[in-house]
Structure 1
Amino acid sequence: MKFTSRLKRNVLTILGFLLLAQLSSSQLSQSDSTRTELSSLLDSFITQDDEEKADDLLQTLEKAWKLQQIGVKAEMQALLDSIEPLINTKNLERKDFLFLLVKSRNELFHHQYALALEDGAKALEFEKLSKPDELIYLHSTIATCHYYTSSYEKALQSHFKAMEICEANQELDCLPGIYNNISVVYMGTGDWEKAQEYTSKALDQAAAINNAFERSRAIGNMAIIYAEQGDFDKSEEWFLKDLAIYLETGDSISAAKNYNNLGRLKEMQQNYDRALYYYQKGLDLAISQNDIQSMALGYQNVGWLEHKTGNNAKALEYFDLGVAMTQKLGNRDKLRDAYFNLSEFYDTIDKPRKALEYYIKYHDLNESIVGEERLKAISELEVKYETQQKENELLKLSKQKQEGEIVIAKQNRRMRQLYFGLGAIALIGILGFVLFRQRLQNKKQHELILAISETQTEERKRIAQDLHDSIGGSLALTKSKFEMAKQKMNEPSPEMESALSTLEQTTNQVRQISHNLMPGELVRFGLVAAINTLLENLNEGEINAQFLSNQGEERLEPLKEIQLYRIVQEALQNVLKHASAKNLFIQLNKHKEHLVLMIEDDGKGIMYSTTEGIGLKNIKQRVQLLKGIFSIDSAPDRGTILNIQIPV
Structure 2
Amino acid sequence: MKNKLLLLFILFVSQAYPQRVYTLDDDKSYTDSLTQLIKSTRVDSIKCISSFRLADLYRRGKKNELADEYLALANTIAPKYPFLKDVAVYYNSIPYLSKGDIDNFGKQLSLANTKLKKYKTKDSYSLRAYILRNLSIVKQVQNNEKEAMRILIEEAMPLAEKGGNYEVLSGLYKSVAIIFMNNEERTKAETYLKSAKEYIEKASKSSYTYKETKVEIYVIDSENMTHLEKLVDAKKSLDKAYEILKKYPKSNMNGGYYFSEGYYFYKIKQFENSLKSYDKGIANSMLYQDVFSANRLKFAKHLPFKAMNRHEDIKNVLLDLIENSNPFVVDEKNYSLELAQTFEKLGDIKNAYKYSSRYIALNDSLNEIQSKEKITALEAKFNKAENEKKISQLEAQRERDKLIAENNKLYYGLLVAISVLLLLLVIFLWINSKNQKKIAIEHAKNYTQNLTALKNQKEIEVMQAMIKGEESERKRIARDLHDGIGSMLSSLKMRFMKVNSSSEVDLNEIDNMNTLLTNSITELRQVSYNLIPESLLKLGLEHALNDLCHMLKTENVRIDFHANAIKDDIPESMQITIYRIVQELLSNALKHSKSSEILVDCSQNQSRFFITVEDNGIGFDTNKMDVFEGQGLKNLKNRVELLNGKIEIDSSKERGTVFNIELSL
- Decide: shared fold, TM above 0.5: no
The normalised TM-score by structure 2 is 0.43
Structure with max Cα Rg: 2
The normalised TM-score by structure 1 is 0.44
